[in-house]
Amino acid sequence: MNKIHFDNNKNWIWIAILILSGIFIVCGGFELFENPNTNRILTITSFCLQIIYLTKMFWFKNYVQYNKKGIITIKVNSAIGKTFMYKDIKNSQLDGKQLLIKKNNGTTIKFNLDGITESDVKKLYTMVNKNTIANTVYN
């Protein structure tokens, strides 16, 4: 059974890496140092740090990224994931080994959860279900 990697985007290490990357871009881009090699190394390092951050989703076969703004990315048993906002979800249901998410525009997104541990399936379903429009209108 495979596990799902849940990423909350609140990890201060990643935020510090992005801030450091921004500082390196500014220092290297405006050539704050006299040595051109130092400026080039800072710029290359900053872009490498950003690439590492932006490719986190591809490190794991099963990956869910969410934040407090209401955006969720789900990648389960596939090469690419689906990204949508909680406010776009009309309802969700767990049908055997499939998670069905119905959006406000009428489209239905299916995620095959075959081979995923039961605890991670329940965690994903409760995360999506508690943030749907039907459950947040009166709260």
Amino acid at 28: G
68 and 27, same structural domain?
no
pLDDT reading at 32 higher than 70:
yes
Inter-residue contact 99 to 81 (CB < 8 Å): no
Give the chain's mean pLDDT. 90
Q: How many domains does the chain have?
A: 2
Q: What is the pLDDT of residue 109?
A: 94
Of 88, 130, 114, residue with least CA distance to 1:
114
68 and 55, same structural domain?
no
Q: What is the pLDDT of residue 108?
A: 94
> Please, where are the H alpha helices in the chain?
12-29, 36-54, 56-59, 118-130, 133-136
41 and 89, same structural domain?
no
Q: Find the mean pLDDT for residues 100-120.
A: 94
Q: What is the pLDDT of residue 102?
A: 92
Q: What is the pLDDT of residue 112?
A: 95
120 and 98, same structural domain?
yes
DSSP 8-state assignment for residue 4: P
129 and 79, same structural domain?
yes
132 and 77, same structural domain?
yes
Q: Find the mean pLDDT for residues 106-120.
A: 95
The token duo for 101 is: 């998410």
Q: Can you tell me whether residue 8 is helix, strand or coil? A: coil
pLDDT reading at 97 higher than 80:
yes
Q: Is residue 2 part of a domain?
A: no
100 and 78, same structural domain?
yes
Structure-token match 């389960």, residue found: 76
Q: Is residue 107 part of a domain?
A: yes
Q: What is the pLDDT of residue 93?
A: 92
Percentage of the chain modeled with pLDDT above 70: 95
70 and 55, same structural domain?
no
67 and 53, same structural domain?
no
Q: Find the mean pLDDT for residues 22-49.
A: 94
Q: Is residue 3 part of a domain?
A: no
> Whole-prediction pTM value?
0.82
* Domain containing residue 79: CATH number: 2.30.29
Range of the domain at 38: 9-59
Q: What is the pLDDT of residue 136?
A: 61
| C-alpha span between 67 and 73 (Å, rounded) | 10
